[in-house]
Chain A
Amino acid sequence: MFKILKQLLSRTAVLYVLAAIFLLSVGNFPRAWNHVVTSALSRYMPSHDYLLEFNRDRSTFNFKKNKEFELYYGKLSALMPDMPDAYAMQGFCYYYDGKTDRALAAYQQAVRLNPKVFNFYYNQGIIALKTRDEAKALALFKKSLSVPLVDNLQFIVTSRVYKPLLPVTKSSAVLADAMGQYLIDAYGRAYLQALALAATQKDYATMLLYARQGVAQGVLDQGVGSYYAGLASFGLKKHEASVGYIQEAVRKGFSYAQAFEIMGHALQALKRPESAAALMAATSLARDGKIYRPSVNFDLLVY
């Protein structure tokens, strides 16, 4: 027995065991791990110039650079698993790498960690749209719009992951203003996507709700909002309201063929055929160059 023990103790592995025992008894692993991870990731972080440029102009996509960021955010989320923004950025890179399943999974993980971030849902909605799952996309856009803008703004300006990607300003107030405006535009995009999808799915109740809500919040163009409200009202057979909304839309500059056409149909339903006929004629005139086409934008938002 003693001989076996002596044999075992004379092996090189014993040195490792002793070193491990020593480290486990005196080492401050949580403190060391925290610092080591932060420092190593900071150095590993690629230059953000590319992402900043790509965020401004999506035509500058570079596969190699995107891959670098994919790996970086992958490491960041693996080593700091409580950072939802890291998962989101990883998802962003996956999406542009053509890995939509992975992108979706990354955004879902981000939502699990923080369910109150607009772009986590919005970007998932875009991915669902890309994969032609329109019902899911609409549900996700709805969720994105349920996130209060102020909470989202707070999240973005305090995020360490987004920090290098934010506009460079010395004042936090200026940054908050800039990001506030950015979010207003982003929410506007989400409303447009939700309205276009609701229109396709003939979900008029949703369409009416979001059209009115978007206009009331000031993030949706009033002309477009009123048009969708008019369209929804027409679908819901509220013809009087529909005419009112469309008139409002035209007043706000939404003078597209569809607006006149719907108003014409609504007036016809309201038994006002003379006005309807005039509007139908106007519609055919307007069709030449003024057909409203909701823009299809499959770009994800960085934050």
Chain B
Amino acid sequence: MKKSIDLFWLVGGLTVLVWIFCFRVFLLREAPLISDAVSFYDHLKFYIDNISIGVYPLWDPLWSCGSPNEFFLRRIGPFNPLLLLLAIPYKLGLSYWAVFASFITFYYFLGMVGFYKLALEVLKDKKSALLAFVLLTFSSLGTRVFDSYIMMFMTPTIWFFYFLLVFGRTMQKYALAGLVFCVMLLMTTYIPFYFFVIALTFALFFLLVFPKESRDFLFHLIQFIRRNPWFFLLCLAAVAMSFIPGFMFFKQAGQGTFAMPLRHFNAGTQNVLSVESDVATYWAIPEDLLFSLFYLEDLRLFDFAVFYVPVLSLLFLVLGLFTHTNRKLAFMFIWGFFLFLMGSPYLVPVYDFLHRHVFFFKYFRNLHFFLWLVILPLLILFVVEQLRLFFNMIADDKRRKMMALYFVVAVHLAFAAFLFWRDSFNYSTWAVVVMSLLLFAAVLWGRVSLWVFYGLCFILVAVEPIEAYHHLSRNVSKYLALSVYDQATPDFQYTRGQKTILLVDSQDLTQETTARNNPLYFGTQWYNLLWDNVDFLVLKDYTFVKFILYDRVVSFDEQKQDLKTLEQTWRQQANLAYIPPVEMNAALKELNRPANSVAATPLVIEKESEQFYVSKSDVNTIRLATKLTVDKFLVFNDGYYPGWHAFLNDKPVMLYRANVAFKGIFLPAGRNVVEFRFGEPWRYRVEIFLLMFYLLFFAGFLRQWYKERNV
């Protein structure tokens, strides 16, 4: 027992240190984050910036000239209590990068520790669990910390399965609370449908492979409910509550007020979150695997998003081919194989069938996520279990040990021949093959114990990733650019910086038919119209300033009229604003003046003055003081969106949709106080309530775990 604890801390500690060493270039910010990790960094920063000053950010004025923030909140999982903890060191003066880098490292290892505990539950062997922990830690899942936000749902998914198994075994309250809490996180982080698929397929195959255990589980669950009805009801209520934000967002997406053309351009349903089958099937599991193979032949080319497991696991896989199988192995194999089939839409029509018949399959597109989320950890559990069975099979039998030694030598020689045939340049791979052979020979000859074997496996596992991630660090660009979120300041800025719009690169061999060039990733539906129809530079120039005061207003129907008219007006900087015909009312008729009766250009506000200044602002609210000599029409170049309200001298007034995509109000002459406010008060109450509820539930769960830890 003592030995196992010592080895755990030794190997565990070394694993953390070596992993940090491998990724030091990224953790020290000598190389930038890549791909979706950039968005994660940005949106988390935006969230923490606001939460730390007591503002719940439902609106993001920095994205696409103002967009609802619900989508990005869903991505980061805003109710996760661990995210709130980030605000503390940040408020205490630590740089955001230091906080962020510490958090992603911590969260990754939280997932890995969860995996160790899960492996212990599954394999019932500490040595094997430790090996599984090291293998997963050094797999390329670690690279995804810096190029995606997959860890935000990987970690809770791992812990979910751990608590599920513990609950199945012990029927303890803390385990139920733990799995419920993981579900709560997964329901509010990114798209919950990946988890639905994982959980449902797990249940299905578990039922098939373990019918008796499933029956027993149900029986014990009923007994547990009888014993703890209120606790169970609380858990059910918590799960139900976690559906609320997702459900509200889903409903909002059905109204079509925001646009996600990259995802939805041809989906054939009303809901903008829905995904056309072609989009989802374009990049699935076999594509990810083949792409990865391109890089693995020569580790010097190693790059992000390459699916990689230390070569030792492949040796274990082959060595375990002739071990006796058991139901655990069969279950892991069948479950993983099914997900592989589902994620191979061009090979078998499983996904096609599910996309047509199961509603939520229309709402997620990254089929290759199942490779990382399930197949990778399953593969590692599978090979480690095989290895355990391999040693069990030959234990205390000299003849079998001798046969096993021949087999081990044959497998290693075959592997070396394969490397030679593939002209492999990977020195570390050769080193692992040689060391692995020596280690196996030593253990089969009885020179070293199994504990030493498993301990030394750490070196064999780590050698190759150290080389791979060294090359990764060298191959990535070292160009570091500050994002618009890095540059954001608490003070109100009257103008926008250079980066207001996200450009999406779409150069592609196969892209000949459907996708438009540079579609908007996310924005209001009206801003998307401008994006598609107005010259990019004209739009950028126009939106550089946030406030423009016009003397003339006319109606404009973007459904019937050409948006080039608007573009021309902006090019000429004409003193003319447009609003939809249905919004033209008596107050504005006065501003429907002839062009020659007013100044040629509008009054553009680039800085504060006595006549116009912002007195208070946060991302959801902005308050202005104005002193004008004549009536004007104020266009606030921040996205128009349902939920925004305008107030003039604290009285509600009509908010117009000005210049197709922005906010506008009629501003009478004289001193006025104008306020724009986003979101109904109940929305904030719901969000804050959920935030508090998650925090309390988490605290309660930890307390319960502490109480029951020795039961």
12 further interface pairs, Cβ-Cβ under 8 Å (given A12-B324, A39-B282, A44-B291):
A11-B325, A26-B348, A28-B347, A29-B347, A32-B344, A35-B346, A36-B286, A36-B290, A37-B290, A38-B509, A39-B510, A40-B290
* Bound CA–CA A14/B347 (angstroms): 22
* A23 contacts partner chain B, Cβ-Cβ < 8 Å: yes
Choose from A14, A26, A41 the contact partner of B509 (Cβ within 8 Å).
Answer: A41
- Alpha-carbon separation in the docked complex, A46 to B294 (Å): 13
A27-72: which residues lie under 8 A (CB-CB) from chain B? 27-29, 31-32, 34-45, 47-48, 71
Q: Which residues of B contact A169 (CB under 8 A)?
A: none
By beta carbon, the residue of chain B nearest A39 is: B287
Q: Which of A15, A36, A39, A47 contacts B333 (CB 8 A)?
A: A15
Determine whether B600 belongs to the interface, using a CB cutoff of 8 Å to chain A.
no
User: Smallest CB–CB gap between B338 and chain A, Å?
Assistant: 10
B318-340, CB < 8 A from A: 320-325, 329-330, 333, 337
Say which residue of B322, B337, B346, B386 sits within 8 Å of A32 (CB atoms). B346
**Bound state CA distance, A63 and B89, in angstroms?**
45
CA A49 to CA B346, docked complex, whole Å: 32
B507 and A38: CB pair below 8 A? Answer: no
User: Does A19 interact with chain B (Cβ within 8 Å)?
Assistant: yes
12 CB contacts below 8 A, A to B, read A10-B324, A11-B322, A12-B321, A12-B386, A15-B325, A15-B333, A19-B333, A28-B347, A35-B287, A35-B346, A43-B291, A45-B509
CB contact between B348 and one of A27, A36, A39 (< 8 Å): that residue: A27
Q: Is A75 an interface residue (CB 8 A)?
A: yes
* A16, A44, A48: residue with the most chain B Cβ atoms closer than 10 Å: A44
Q: Which residues of A contact B397 (CB under 8 A)?
A: none
A99 at interface (Cβ–Cβ under 8 A)? no
**Chain A hits for B329, CB < 8 A:** 12, 15
Residues of B contacting A48 in the complex (Cβ-Cβ under 8 angstroms): 507
What B residues does A44 contact at CB under 8 A? 291, 294
Residues on A with beta carbons closer than 8 Å to the beta carbon of B322: 11-13
The reply on B283 being an interface residue by CB < 8 A is: yes
Given contacts A36-B346, A39-B282, A160-B509, contact A12 B323 (CB under 8 A): yes
Contact A27 B508 (CB under 8 A): no
A81 at the interface (CB under 8 A from B): no
Q: Does B301 contact A (CB under 8 A)?
A: yes
Q: Which 7 A-B pairs give the minimum distances between C-beta atoms?
A: A32-B347, A32-B346, A42-B509, A40-B290, A40-B291, A13-B321, A35-B346
B618 to chain A, nearest CB (A): 40
The CA-CA distance from A28 to B341 in the complex, in Å, is 12
A167 at the interface (CB under 8 A from B): no
Cα–Cα, bound, A14→B329 (Å): 12
Shortest CB-to-CB span from B551 to chain A, Å, is: 40
Which residues from chain B contact A37 at a C-beta distance below 8 Å? 290
**Distance in angstroms between the alpha carbons of A11 and B229 in the assembled complex:** 45
Answer yes or no: A148 CB below 8 A from chain B CBs.
no
Asked if A164 CB lies within 8 Å of chain B CBs, one says: yes
List the A residue with the shortest CB-CB distance to B337. Answer: A19
A75 — which chain B residues lie within 8 A by C-beta?
A: 294
Dominant secondary structure of chain A at its interface with chain B: helix
A1-31 residues at the B interface, CB under 8 angstroms: 10-16, 19, 23, 26-29, 31
B282-311 interface code vs A (CB 8 A; 1 in, 0 out): 110011001100100000010000000000
Counting chain B CB atoms within 10 Å of each CB, the highest count among A31, A35, A37, A41 belongs to A35
Residues A10 and B507 in contact in the complex (CB < 8 Å), given A27-B347, A32-B286, A39-B287 = no
A16 cross-chain contacts in B, Cβ below 8 A: 321
A10-B325 CB under 8 A given contacts A36-B287, A39-B283, A39-B510: yes
Q: Mark A255-281, 1 if CB is under 8 A from B, else 0.
A: 000000000000000000000000000
Do residues B346 and A28 form an inter-chain contact, with CB atoms below 8 A?
A: yes
Complexed CA–CA distance, A164 and B347 (Å): 29
Q: State which residues 70-87 of A face B: CB under 8 Å.
A: 71, 75
Give min CB distance, B337 to chain A, whole Å: 5
Q: Is the CB of A12 within 8 A of B294?
A: no
* Set of chain A residues within 8 Å of B294, measured between Cβ atoms: 40, 44, 71, 75
Rounded to whole angstroms, the CA-CA distance of A83 and B323 in the bound complex is 45
Distance A19 CA – B341 CA, assembled complex (angstroms): 10
The chain B residue sitting closest to A45, CB to CB, is B509
B507 contacts across to A, CB distance below 8 A: 45, 47-48, 164
Say yes or no: A42-B324 contact (C-beta < 8 A), given A15-B329, A36-B286: no
Which chain B residues border A12 with CB–CB below 8 Å? Answer: 320-325, 329, 386
Closest CB-CB distance, A169 to chain B, in whole Å?
14
Tell me, rounded to whole Å, the shortest Cβ–Cβ distance linking A30 to chain B: 10
Residues on A with beta carbons closer than 8 Å to the beta carbon of B333? 15, 19
Q: Which residue from chain B places its CB closest to the CB of A42 in the assembled complex?
A: B509
A residues less than 8 Å from B323 (CB atoms) = 11-12
Which has the most chain A C-beta neighbours within 10 Å: B287, B329, B508?
A: B287
Which chain B positions have C-beta within 8 A of A47? 507
Closest to B382 in A: A12
| A38 B510 Cβ-Cβ under 8 A | yes
Q: Which residue of B lies closest to A161 (CB)?
A: B509
Chain A residue numbers with a CB within 8 Å of B330 are 15
Assembly CA distance A156 to B322 (angstroms): 54
A34 to B9, CA, bound (A): 48
- Shortest beta-carbon distance, B333 to chain A, in Å? 5
Given the complex of chains A and B, what is the CA–CA distance between A286 and B395 in angstroms?
Answer: 96
Alpha-carbon distance between A13 and B325 when the two chains are bound, in angstroms? 9
Complex-state Cα separation, A41 to B301, whole angstroms = 15
Chain B residue numbers with a CB within 8 Å of A19 are 333, 337
Residue of A nearest to B305 (CB): A43
* Among B301, B348, B509: residue with most chain A CB under 10 A: B509
With contact pairs A12-B321, A15-B325 given, residues A42 and B510 touching in the complex (Cβ less than 8 Å): yes
User: Closest chain A residue to B286 by CB distance?
Assistant: A36
> Complex Cα distance A273/B287, Å?
79
CA distance A19 to B337 in the complex (A): 8
User: Nearest B residue to A7 by beta-carbon distance?
Assistant: B324
